[in-house]
Amino acid sequence: MPNSKKTTTGSVSLDPLAIGIDIGGTGTKFGIVDRNGNVLFSSEISTRGHDEVESFIDELHNSLNALIEKSGGPGRIRGIGVGAPNGNYYTGTVEYAPNLPWKGIIPLAKLIQNKFQLPAVLTNDANAAAIGEMMYGAAKDMKDFIMITLGTGVGSGIVANGRLILGHDGFAGELGHTITIPNGRFHPGTGKYGSLESYASATGVTLTAIEMLEKNDTDSLLRKIPKGKLDSKKVYEAAIENDQLAKDVFEFTGKILGMALANFVMFSSPEAIILFGGLTKAGELILKPTREHMEQNLIQVFSNKVKILVSHLKESDAAILGASALVWEMKD
């Protein structure tokens, strides 16, 4: 096992491992992780295409079993940590997650525990990523930071005084659903108007591009893309080809994101905001307007104090690492 630094060969006593699972709106990533944060084996399945959560867990079980066998069998696995949108650490349930196919209250930790016959613990996917960043990434040694995941949706994990803010009920940190533009864009998953997620997610970027293409008739590379095929990646590709409309899409997205970040700063005054996920690949195209508009909306006492950092962890790793870190904190 060349990937594992701490495996003792020629002995039955092998260091325990943890499984980390990151359930996203589009894909579910998972890996087997050692105590030092090395992801030994990892893979991915689609979250979509399973109307029933049981069928999703069946597929997850099949895929993970292959990795478990490679790692030395279930006896080496200490437990399973799961990050999922609207995941609740206290109850182990996923409740009314707008971006997942399963509605209502899903006892996800229990279902996984029963299927794998291993102890399982659950938290919000972005909380898991924040723990991953704090233990192994850009937030190492920070006691006050906010992690924002810019993927299919917008998630967040907030750390203050060195601890995750879970809130009274375990659901704190739903910053993607804060209202940034009152009476703004409709979010079909929540039924609310003007949330950060409706603008600053991959979906939001695509919608902004469609709106801008419809609103005026300036030339744009994006007009060549068939309707229904346009996505945030294509907007990015056009923007680096210097397409003005595509650049305007990121400028607009950064403006709204920056304004929202200013509000978050005035809440918990973090040392840094760590951005993570697909949209951060647009680099300065989105970071520059985000920084500018954050500063523009901050009162003087916060001016030029708060760093905006992009996660350096491999995209899938932060959440897998964070989820797996939950396992080491489990009681025996």
Query: Which residues of this protein are in contact with its own copies, per CB under 8 A?
Result: 86, 95-96, 98, 143-144, 158, 160-161, 163, 165-175, 177-182, 190, 192, 259, 262-264, 266-271, 297, 299-302, 305
Phi/psi of residue 303, nearest 5 degrees: -55, 135
3-state secondary structure of 187: strand
Comparison of 160 and 221: residue with beta carbon closer to its own copies = 160
Comparison of 103 and 314: residue with beta carbon closer to its own copies = 103
How far apart CA 152 and CA 162 sit, in angstroms, is 28
Smallest gap from residue 316 Cβ to its own copies (A): 26
Nearest to 131 by CA among 320, 331, 330: 320
3-state secondary structure of 23: strand
Q: Give DSSP secondary structure letters for 221-273.
A: GGGGSPTTT--HHHHHHHHHTT-HHHHHHHHHHHHHHHHHHHHHHHHH--SEE
For residue 120, give Cα distances in angstroms to 31, 72, 77, 326, 329: 14, 19, 11, 9, 12
Smallest gap from residue 175 Cβ to its own copies (A): 6
How far apart CA 149 and CA 130 sit, in angstroms, is 9
Smallest gap from residue 199 Cβ to its own copies (A): 12
Smallest gap from residue 181 Cβ to its own copies (A): 6
Comparison of 80 and 200: residue with beta carbon closer to its own copies = 200
Phi/psi of residue 14, nearest 5 degrees: -105, 145
* DSSP category for residue 82: E
Comparison of 78 and 291: residue with beta carbon closer to its own copies = 291
Smallest gap from residue 54 Cβ to its own copies (A): 23
Comparison of 11 and 161: residue with beta carbon closer to its own copies = 161
Comparison of 206 and 297: residue with beta carbon closer to its own copies = 297
3-state secondary structure of 34: coil
Spatial CB neighbours of 83, under 8 Å, sequence gap ≥ 6: 20, 21, 22, 23, 122, 123, 124, 125, 126, 127, 128, 129, 319, 322, 323
Comparison of 165 and 210: residue with beta carbon closer to its own copies = 165
Comparison of 34 and 133: residue with beta carbon closer to its own copies = 133
Chain CA centroid to CA 264, Å: 17
Smallest gap from residue 49 Cβ to its own copies (A): 24
Smallest gap from residue 161 Cβ to its own copies (A): 6
Q: CA triplet 223, 252, 183: central angle to 5 degrees?
A: 105
Smallest gap from residue 67 Cβ to its own copies (A): 32
